[in-house]
């Protein structure tokens, strides 16, 4: 029994020794990392303000004539410019049109008759067979008939315009977002019937306090966060009039990619003038309990862990405060697996 225990200890000792030697003799592993170069950049502290995506073309299409609504486009209908979005009953207008056409024909007949009389009286007056006043009366009747034709044609044009406007047409392409009346209801002059929004022509509306109004200029690019995506938007309009209640000024921004109207967004807006700082991509930060650090890669491709403080941020870049110099290679990918003094291979650096 003692012999068996003795041999067991010998085997355990040999196994442990082999593993220790193998582990000691194994070459250290070179870890791949991605780096970014610390640079001097002009950054400004920012704050986020809520904004809303609106459409540049948003119209409540109203009736210009009174009438019975016979049809209106359903909510969600996508229309092109010039498409009919609502129809009014035009039966009475069509009857008025027929009446005016008949009046025009009657007046034209009268005018033709008076024209013939004028010519006949002009021949007879040369022969002293008719009095001058009869010729003058015929000329007057001809002029009256001509004026009546002009008036009747004007009334006909108005009736035809009303008929045309009984069909409400889209002033621009878009989608029907609301319907304010149903078929069978009486549409009053000026009452909105449908709401049309161009969902491809959007802009962002945001209001900012007076304290930062002077820091903003046209064509500045700001970062906008919408749900899970971050996009850039350009300041296109600065309304130089603040509201009396809140002292807020309005900005209008054009996003670099379309956003649906009604979307709530958050805009990063500078709250102070920009200053030159050493900055790096946010992904370089290694967060530990009670400390923030970055890994710098030296000329021998060895990692160095540097404790830093974070200053102002602007989008993807942040200010680093600490023993960091412009041109330092800072790890942005792979730092969570690194330890100080380890050899690395920079995968995004050309040989």
* CATH number for domain 59-89+166-199, candidates 2.40.50.100, 3.40.50.970, 3.40.50.150, 2.60.120.10: 2.40.50.100
Residue in the block written with tokens 């009670």 = 290
* 31-42+276-346 against 90-165: fold identical: no
SS3 97: helix
Q: Does domain 90-165 have CATH number 2.60.40?
A: no
Which of 328, 316, 300 is CA-nearest to residue 308? 328
Its CATH class, for the domain covering 46-56+201-270, is mainly beta
pLDDT for residue 130 is more than 80: no
Domain borders along the chain are 31-42+276-346, 46-56+201-270, 59-89+166-199, 90-165
* CATH number for domain 31-42+276-346, candidates 2.60.40.10, 1.10.150.120, 2.40.420.20, 3.30.413.10: 2.40.420.20
User: Exposed, middle or buried by CB within 10 Å (0-12, 13-18, 19+), for 227?
Assistant: exposed
Is 200 in contact with 194 (CB distance < 8 Å)?
Answer: no
Give the separation between CA 179 and CA 269, rounded to whole angstroms: 37
Give the global pTM.
Answer: 0.66
Which range has the worst mean pLDDT, 121-135, 305-319, 334-348?
121-135
- Classify 81 in phi/psi space as left (phi over 0), alpha (psi -120 to 50) or beta: beta
pLDDT at 246: 74
pLDDT at 20: 39
SS3 128: coil
Q: Is the dihedral of CA 80, 85, 91, 92 positive or negative?
A: negative
Which range has the worst mean pLDDT, 21-30, 73-82, 217-226?
21-30
Which of 304, 285, 288, 308 is CA-nearest to residue 296? 304
Model confidence pLDDT, tens digit, residues 166-183: 999 999 999 999 999 999
SS3 241: coil
pLDDT for residue 16 is more than 50: no
The pLDDT of 122-141, averaged and rounded, is: 80
pLDDT at 253: 96
pLDDT for residue 154 is more than 90: yes
pLDDT for residue 346 is more than 60: yes
């Amino acid at each position: 029994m003692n012999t068996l225990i003795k041999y067991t200890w010998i085997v355990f000792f040999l196994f442990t020794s082999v593993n220790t030697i193998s582990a000691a003799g194994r070459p250290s592993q070179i870890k791949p990392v991605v780096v970014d170069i610390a640079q001097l950049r002009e950054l400004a502290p920012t704050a986020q303000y809520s904004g809303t995506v609106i459409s540049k073309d948003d119209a409540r299409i109203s009736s210009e004539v009174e009438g019975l609504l016979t049809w209106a486009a359903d909510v969600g209908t996508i229309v092109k410019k010039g498409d009919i979005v609502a129809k009014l009953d035009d039966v009475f207008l069509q009857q008025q049109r027929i009446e005016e056409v008949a009046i025009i024909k009657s007046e034209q007949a009268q005018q033709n008759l008076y024209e013939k009389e004028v010519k006949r009286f002009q021949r007879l007056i040369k022969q002293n067979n008719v009095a001058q006043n009869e010729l003058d009366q015929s000329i007057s009747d001809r002029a009256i008939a001509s004026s009546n034709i002009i008036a009747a044609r004007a009334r006909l044009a108005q009736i035809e315009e009303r008929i045309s406007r009984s069909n409400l047409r889209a002033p621009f392409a878009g989608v029907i977002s609301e319907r304010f009346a149903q078929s069978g209801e009486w549409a009053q002059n000026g009452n909105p019937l449908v709401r049309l929004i161009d969902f491809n022509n959007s802009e962002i509306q945001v209001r900012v306090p007076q304290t930062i109004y002077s820091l903003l200029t046209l064509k500045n690019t700001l970062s906008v966060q919408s749900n899970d995506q971050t996009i850039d938007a350009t300041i296109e309009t600065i309304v130089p009039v603040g509201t009396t209640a809140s002292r807020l000024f309005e900005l209008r921004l054009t996003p670099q990619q379309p956003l649906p109207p009604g979307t709530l967004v958050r805009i990063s807006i500078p709250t102070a003038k920009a200053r030159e700082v050493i900055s790096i991509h946010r992904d370089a930060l290694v967060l530990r309990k009670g400390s923030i650090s970055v890994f710098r890669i030296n000329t021998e491709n060895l990692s160095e862990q540097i404790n830093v403080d974070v200053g102002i941020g602007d989008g993807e870049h942040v200010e680093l405060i600490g023993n960091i110099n412009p041109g330092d290679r800072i790890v942005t990918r792979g730092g969570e697996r690194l330890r100080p003094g380890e050899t690395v291979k920079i995968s995004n650096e050309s040989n």
